[in-house]
Each structure stands twice: as C-alpha cells, then as structure tokens.
Amino acid sequence: MTTPIDLLIEARWIIPVEPANVVLENHAVAIDKGKIVAILQQSDASARFSAREVKQLPHHILIPGLVNLHTHAAMTLLRGLGDDLPLMDWLQNHIWPAEAKHVSAQFVHDGTLLACAEMLRGGTTCFNDMYFYPKATAKAALSCGIRAAIGLITLDFPTGYAADADDYLAKGLAARDDLRDEPLLSFCLAPHAPYTVNDRNFSQVLTLAEQCDLPIHLHLHETKQEIDDSRQRFGMRPIERLRRLGLLSPALIGAHGVHLNAEEIALLAQQGCSIAHCPSSNLKLASGIAPLTALTEQGVNIGLGTDGAASNNRLDMFQEMRLAALLAKGSSGQAEAVGAHQALRMATLGGAQALGLDAQIGSIAVGKAADLCAIDVNDVGLTPCYNAASLLVYSAGREHVSDVWIAGRIRVANGHLLETNEIELIKLAALWQNQICPRNV
C-alpha cells in the first residue's frame, strides 16, 4: 500500500549538498506538508508513494534553494546610482544622501518586492537582510512567499527610521515580537559595522543576542580604510576590538571579510564565526579579494551574499558561486581551490549554517523544508554534461532556473513568478526612479 503525499519531484540529477560531493541520478524527492519525507530512486517512488502532484524534470538539476547571506534588499531601488566610485565616496556622497531623502517604510517595502522577485527567479529561497524598517521588509518578503532573515539594524547616528541606538533596538525587537510566529521569517541583530557602532551599543547588541538567541550580522573588514580608521580611533583592528567586546562566536556573521591576516583567520575559525563572502560587490567597489582559500583551509564557515543591488548590481547567486570559485583559484594559484561542490555548499548550507537554520534548510535531506530550485540544462550553452555540479557552477546561470519551491509550495514555474505581477512591479520601480533621479543622467 502506497503512502499519500503532496508532491513528488523526479529529476535527472539531484545535488543534495549533504552528503558532500554527491550527485544522484534519476532520483526523486518526496514532499508532504512542506517537508522532505524521502529521497529515492525514481523506479522505487511510485511503489512507495501516491502523490497528488508529480513534477517531472527530465533535463534538470535539482538543488537546495540558494541562501543569500548578505544583502540590503530595499536598495534595489538604488541600482546603478553612483556607479564606478570607491566605497566611502559612493556611500557618503551618493547613497547616504539618497537614503536620507527617500527612505521610508514604503520605499523599503517596494524595493524589497523588486528584490524578492529578482531573487526568486534566480533560485534564491532565503535572504539575510540588513536595512531600515524591518517590518516593511518582512511584509514584502511574506507577500512573495520567500524565506527571510530580517536584520534588526543598529547605528550610532539618527536617521529617518530611528533617533539613536536604543531607538533602533527597541523598534527592531518590537518588529520581531510582532512577526516571530511567521514560519518563513527569522531574525538577526544587525549592528551596521564597527565604524558606525560604539562599544556601549555593541555591548547592548551582544546582551540582546544572547538573551534572544539571535545571530549578529555586520559588515567586517570590508576595506583597508575601515581598518586604518579603527587603528586610529581605537588603537586596534576591528576584529580585535570585537574580540575584546566578546562578539566573536558562532553567532557572528561578518560580511565581506576582505582584509584579514592569518591570525584573524585563525581566530575566526577558533571562535566558530561565519563570513558572508560577496565577491561581486568586493570587486565592483574595489574593496579587494577576500582570502577565501585561507578561510576554507582553516575551516571558517562561508556563505555567499550579493550585497545590495546598489553595489553589485545583481542579486544573482549563480554569479556569486562562479566568481567565488574562480577568484579563489586565481588568487591562490591553486586550480583545485573551491571546487564546484564547495561553491554550491557556500551558496546553500553555508548560509543556512551561519543563520542557525541548517536544521531546516540548506540541503536536500529528509526532515528539512522543501526549499528547492530546478535548473533546466536542456540548452545549447549547457551541453554536453559530464559533471552536473561543474555544469551548475561554471556554466549555468539564473536564466536557466525553471522552478522554485519554498516549504513545498511552488513560487516559480517554468521560469515565471506565480504570485508577482512583473509588469506592475516594473512600473512601480519606474515611479521610484522618477522620484530619486528625475532626469535620466
């Protein structure tokens, strides 16, 4: 007698991520009530299960949904504003003035809608955000059905969102209290960076993180200027300052981690910290190339992030996978550095682990949520296929994503968003563009 289930997905190849370095051929994933209940040979699936829906993917690779470990989703509305400038010039003279004038709850909601649409179509099923008005971010994410880790941002200085660090934290925690029962949402404390948060406010963040069991997500060692300024202001490099404040732990997610010495890498590994590696943003802002090979050799957990679309300018995790692998090889002189399976792990399970969500997402495993992405490789640019993992990382792109499921519910089918009106979204973005930059310069 067969077991009734909601969905059976049959794929030519499945890369489960766990166990590592495995590619399953002609297998199926059985899903019920949003969870994976079995992974088995297609020939055995019909004898064991009776599915209400069977999805056949004869020319596809099925992978876990991608996890974007560092982004600022609402900044999609600032895509292309102030390009080809150094980080601090870009921030101080272009981005921060635009934000001061335009950022509101509506800006954040609408920008996040645009970002979610882009991410979903590219196979991203979970993103870790850091921005103002976290309730607006959460509302947009929920309306799109995407999983989100909502950052509760903290800064020393006032903005239109909050007056001071206490106000930021109070508003963030209130948003968490209102939304904590939403199954697709989780939360991080998000002190912006060591150069924008003082010791007293870091101590508050640490206390709250320990009390609420939340990760801490911040920018870390992104530029040489950040390190030079920290030496001048505090007499030490930022990571040493965080160590003395007690923030280095498995709860810490350091975004970028470009400028790290050997001692700092060893310390991050010892303390169980994670790095959100953002290769495209690091290159575009000329921040540098992160020492990815050294980090992985020391066992530091790595996830991949796009950063915001204002500094990338794409929310494209396929691009980040490929670039992470290629930069690691080129910078280390080791062709074997960061292989295809390892790059995929960074884009999935590595991000999930950093967020404390690895028991729920990040791999195709029994008991986990059915957050899945199918890539159609029946394309002249993707043939022949000798190795599915290599094809995925080095040849495929987000344009080859055909179907995306989150908690077993399909969100993208045959390349089309099911719950988002793309034409209306483009019109909405154009309205914001006319407000932010009335003339197309």
Which pLDDT tens digit goes with each residue over 241-287? Answer: 999 999 999 999 999 999 999 999 999 999 999 999 999 999 999 99
Model pLDDT, residue 86: 80
Model pLDDT, residue 90: 86
CATH node for 66-354:
3.20.20.140
DSSP 145-212: T-EEEEEEEE-SS--SS-SSHHHHHHHHHHHHHHHTT-TTEEEEEEE--TTTS-HHHHHHHHHHHHHH
Verdict on whether the full-model pTM lies above 0.95: yes
The tens digit of pLDDT for each residue in 90-111 reads: 888 999 899 999 999 999 999 9
How far is it, in rounded angstroms, from Cα 418 to Cα 412? Answer: 6
Tell me the sheet residues that pair with 375: 61, 401
Tell me where in the chain the CATH 3.20.20.140 domain(s) lie: 66-354
Model pLDDT, residue 441: 44
Lookup: tokens for 301: 């957990």
Closest alpha carbon to 355 in 371, 374, 337: 371
Tell me where in the chain the CATH 2.30.40.10 domain(s) lie: 3-64+368-407
The tens digit of pLDDT for each residue in 121-159 reads: 999 999 999 999 999 999 999 999 999 999 999 999 999
Architecture of the 3-64+368-407 domain: Roll (2.30)
The tens digit of pLDDT for each residue in 52-65 reads: 999 999 999 999 99
The string over 396-426, giving b where at least 16 C-beta atoms fall within 10 Å of a residue's C-beta and e elsewhere, is: bebebbbbbbbbbbbbbeeeebeebeeeebe
The string over 126-149, giving b where at least 16 C-beta atoms fall within 10 Å of a residue's C-beta and e elsewhere, is: bbbbbbbbbbbbbbbbbebbbbbb
The tens digit of pLDDT for each residue in 202-233 reads: 999 999 999 999 999 999 999 999 999 999 99
Closest alpha carbon to 224 in 261, 271, 249: 261
- Please determine, for residue 39, whether its predicted confidence score (pLDDT) is greater than 60: yes
Closest alpha carbon to 129 in 82, 175, 164: 175
